[in-house]
Amino acid sequence: PPSLLDNILLPLIDESVRRQYQIRDAEQRKDFEEANRLRSEVSPRQVALESAQKAREEGLDEEAARLEEEAELYKILRADVTQDEGAYSRYLDRDDWYERETQARIKRLDKSKFGTLLDGIDLP
């Protein structure tokens, strides 16, 4: 059973970690209906994280890296990753299409054109 410390800290941790904990707790209590309900409400980020972990275990490193990148994007989109999806207004989150476009633009940049912080400084 959850301890007092669990009850205090659980609302403050990442939603995907919290959801995994809650599912495991429900299964240990033999409350399979609750465990299934929690599984049906997992976020796209958690799905990507779990899929990445499974891919890595199967030796599919490229697929795992792609899924981890997808999970990171979902993390960036969220205004607060400690809150369950739908617990606050979705208008506080970033737009998926805009963030994907921005990330793609960043990847296309030729970073060598930017120089360094030391450009124009004469060092002895």
Band (pLDDT 50/70/90 cuts) for residue 124 is low
Per-residue model confidence (pLDDT) at position 7: 78
Report which secondary-structure segment, H or E, holds 6: helix 4-9
Measured CA to CA, the distance from residue 12 to residue 82 in angstroms comes to: 6
Calculate ∠ Cα 44-16-64, nearest 5°.
60
- Which residue in the block uniquely carries the two structure tokens 């369950």? 84
Q: Are 94 and 77 in contact (CB under 8 A)?
A: yes
Each residue's pLDDT tens digit, 8-32: 888 778 888 888 888 888 899 899 9
Measured CA to CA, the distance from residue 72 to residue 21 in angstroms comes to: 20
Band (pLDDT 50/70/90 cuts) for residue 55 is very high
Per-residue model confidence (pLDDT) at position 108: 79
Average pLDDT, the chain: 82
Region 52-79 average pLDDT: 87
- Which residue in the block uniquely carries the two structure tokens 């795992």? 64
CA distances to 8, 26, 73, 88 from 3, rounded to whole Å, are 9, 14, 33, 27
Model-level pTM? 0.60
Calculate ∠ Cα 55-57-63, nearest 5°.
25
Q: pLDDT higher for 114 or 32?
A: 32
Per-residue model confidence (pLDDT) at position 30: 93
